Chains A and B, each alone.
Chain A
Amino acid sequence: MELISPTDLAKEKVLTVQDYVLFCFQTVANLFRKPLYFADMIQQADTIGVGSLPIVVLTGFFTGAVLALQASNTLERFGSITLVGQLVSTSMVRELGPVLTSLMVAGRNSSGMASELGSMVVTEQIDAMRALGTDPMKKLVTPRMVATVFMLFFLAIISDLVGLVGGLAIAKLLLRLDARQYWANAWETLVFQDIFMGLIKPVIFGFIIATIGCFYGMNARGGTQGVGRATTQAMVAASVLILAMDLIVTRFLMATLSYH
């Protein structure tokens, strides 16, 4: 294996970040340039959104259920087991709903976009598209970004709701709590800041998922091996970036929305 000097490695990483930022800028700028590919956006929304629905529902349900189960153990010690609904709803809406949904969608779609676009690059289909007078950034990247941002927003809401249902199932069947009390607790505890935080995150994470997947796909080099590498890198980079962004966004929103 060829050894790379730390300086070259650092330069390479900085260059990749620079290229990614320019790529994101161009993706957004294309929203204001004709043509806009609405049909492609709808097709991608179906693939990304409707296609991801089963895994998002399953993830949300089991996360809510296990959250209720884990919380019950601690709350019982303080005689506050009735607060399970509050804990599940704030955790799901503020954090676990958006983050876990995004991670699942990243696993499914970021890698999918990287492999699809990467295959198009190595088989010269991207060059053919440019030769036929179409900008691949407009035709392939921007519709995927719009579709992912739009659909992840709704997928996160569905995940929150299904998570609460998962928590309810545990609360009712195992903890023998009253369902109405669970729902009342879960609903009343939510404030504007919780919902705002829970809705802004999927928008940011959706942008990361699509742009990272497309970026690695469009920069795939070296045949099928390169496509495989791009797929793995896209999935890893999107997941890590989502978790890192989650911390930054949470801290920023807690400071700006005057959380107590």
Chain B
Amino acid sequence: MSAPTLPLDSATVPTHDISAPVIVFEDVKMSFGDNEVLRGVSFHLPRGETKAVFGVAGSGKSLMLKLALGLIRPDSGRIVALGEDVTQMPEERLFELRGKIGMVFQESALFDSLTVRENVAYRLMEEHGIYDENIDRRVREALRFVELEHTLDLNPSELSGGMRRRVAIARAIITQPELLLYDSPTGGLDPVTSNTIIELIVKQRDVNKTSALLVTHRLQDAFTMATHQFDKQNNRMVALPPGQHCDVPMSFLVLRDGKVIFDGDLHSLANSEDEYIQEYIS
């Protein structure tokens, strides 16, 4: 398994206190009518770490990502992203904050009226107005990172599901955000394509040191991420010996009935005595 060459090689530059967590959830509650989805969720994501969020369908995993991005406001509680309280911010300021956060949506959410090139360049075009040489270079770099440089002038409808997901990753990382939010990036994909995408996420984590919140149903993907590291020299993801798993900046969070029932590393998850967690990971 080899990853594409030439990543966007500068590591993410933090814009706030580097010792502070990039995301903090404090007793966040959210309901839709009578359906109480989140019932006091609290956790934090340290800088440089990737946290995989598990839970059954409808447990509010994707909702947590939208809350972190300020796309939806919680009924109560506090959410801090990159040092800013997103629950109190006006929409205008949220647009600025979102410039430092990248999100990969469940179904890619590529703009179907734009080409791959325009989709990936979207954020830069919004900032600079015109598509110049510099933007073109960065678009090509981002697409090379996901091995899709040849799709520049195609429309999203001409791409496969896996390719769309990779273009969505390229669109999210083109500005080197401080924080990445992945909403089921491998959902509905075949194992080979899933592996390629997991490798890209690991590469982004280990090469660019980007913090990430990853929602997934696929335990094996998160376990792969927790047991592998990206080898920059050989440009591929390599498995670590069991004793070195704790070196990987990776943690797990499990949601049940709207509450966090587990938040810790791979070792704690594997040794958890909670019946539900044991059943979930078995």
Interface string of A122-143 (1 = CB under 8 A from B): 0111011111111100000000
- Distance, CA A135 to CA B98, complexed state (A): 11
Do A123 and B109 touch (CB < 8 A)? yes
Residues of B within 8 A of A120 (CB): 111
Do B69 and A128 touch (CB < 8 A)? no
Tell me the nearest residue of chain A to B102, going by C-beta: A131
- Distance, CA A140 to CA B103, complexed state (A): 21
List CB contacts (< 8 Å) of A186-244 with chain B. none
Do B111 and A128 touch (CB < 8 A)? yes
List CB contacts (< 8 Å) of A9-59 with chain B. 35
Q: In the complex, how many residue pairs between chain A and chain B have their CB atoms under 8 Å apart? A: 49
- Distance, CA A123 to CA B101, complexed state (A): 20
Do A133 and B96 touch (CB < 8 A)? yes
Do A132 and B69 touch (CB < 8 A)? no
Q: Which of B69, B96, B98, B107 contacts A123 (CB 8 A)?
A: B107
Q: A123-B107, A128-B103 are in contact. Are A134 and B112 (CB under 8 A)?
A: no
- Residue among A120, A129, A133 with max Cβ neighbours from chain B (10 Å): A133
Interface string of B106-123 (1 = CB under 8 A from A): 110111100000000011
Q: Is the interface of B mostly helix, strand, loop or mixed?
A: mixed
Residues of A within 8 A of B96 (CB): 133
Do A133 and B98 touch (CB < 8 A)? yes
Q: A133-B95, A133-B98 are in contact. Are A128 and B109 (CB under 8 A)?
A: yes
Residues of B within 8 A of A131 (CB): 69, 71, 98, 101, 103, 105
CB distance from B161 to the nearest CB of A (A): 13
Do A124 and B106 touch (CB < 8 A)? yes
CB distance from A130 to the nearest CB of B (A): 6
Tell me the nearest residue of chain B to A138, going by C-beta: B95
- Distance, CA A130 to CA B71, complexed state (A): 7
Residues of B within 8 A of A123 (CB): 107, 109, 112
List CB contacts (< 8 Å) of A95-124 with chain B. 120, 123-124
- Residue among B96, B106, B111 with max Cβ neighbours from chain A (10 Å): B111
Residues of B within 8 A of A124 (CB): 105-107, 109
Residues of A within 8 A of B126 (CB): 35, 132-134
Q: How many residues of A contact B (CB 8 A)?
A: 14
Do B66 and A127 touch (CB < 8 A)? yes
Residues of A within 8 A of B98 (CB): 130-133
Residues of B within 8 A of A135 (CB): 91, 95
Do B91 and A127 touch (CB < 8 A)? no
**B interface residue count range (under 10 / 10 to 19 / 20 to 34 / 35 or more):** 20 to 34
- Distance, CA A130 to CA B95, complexed state (A): 7
Tell me the nearest residue of chain B to A33, going by C-beta: B92
Residues of B within 8 A of A127 (CB): 66, 71, 105, 109
Do A128 and B91 touch (CB < 8 A)? no
Residues of A within 8 A of B110 (CB): 125, 128
Residues of B within 8 A of A132 (CB): 98, 122-123, 126, 171
- Distance, CA A35 to CA B110, complexed state (A): 22
CB distance from B111 to the nearest CB of A (A): 6
The reply to whether the CB of B99 lies closer than 8 angstroms to some CB of chain A is: yes
- Distance, CA A135 to CA B99, complexed state (A): 12
Residues of B within 8 A of A129 (CB): 111
Q: Which of B105, B106, B112, B123 contacts A133 (CB 8 A)?
A: B123
Q: A130-B71, A130-B98, A133-B95 are in contact. Are A125 and B111 (CB under 8 A)?
A: yes
- Distance, CA A190 to CA B227, complexed state (A): 83
Residues of A within 8 A of B91 (CB): 135
Interface string of B49-80 (1 = CB under 8 A from A): 00000000000000000100101000000000
- Distance, CA A163 to CA B171, complexed state (A): 50
Do A128 and B105 touch (CB < 8 A)? yes
Tell me the nearest residue of chain B to A135, going by C-beta: B95
- Distance, CA A156 to CA B44, complexed state (A): 59
Tell me the nearest residue of chain A to B69, going by C-beta: A131
Tell me the nearest residue of chain B to A137, going by C-beta: B91
Seen from chain A, the residues whose Cβ lies within 8 Å of a Cβ on chain B are: 35, 120, 123-125, 127-135
29 pairs across A/B with beta carbons < 8 Å? A35-B126, A123-B107, A124-B105, A124-B107, A125-B110, A125-B112, A127-B66, A127-B109, A128-B105, A128-B109, A128-B110, A128-B111, A129-B111, A130-B69, A130-B98, A131-B69, A131-B98, A131-B101, A131-B105, A132-B98, A132-B123, A132-B126, A133-B95, A133-B96, A133-B99, A133-B123, A133-B126, A134-B122, A135-B95
Q: Which 8 A-B pairs have the closest CB atoms?
A: A128-B109, A124-B109, A131-B103, A133-B99, A133-B95, A133-B98, A124-B105, A132-B123
Given A120-B111, A125-B110, A129-B111, 20 other A-B contacts at CB below 8 A? A123-B107, A123-B109, A123-B112, A124-B107, A124-B109, A127-B71, A127-B105, A128-B109, A128-B110, A130-B95, A131-B101, A132-B123, A132-B126, A132-B171, A133-B95, A133-B99, A134-B95, A134-B126, A135-B91, A135-B95
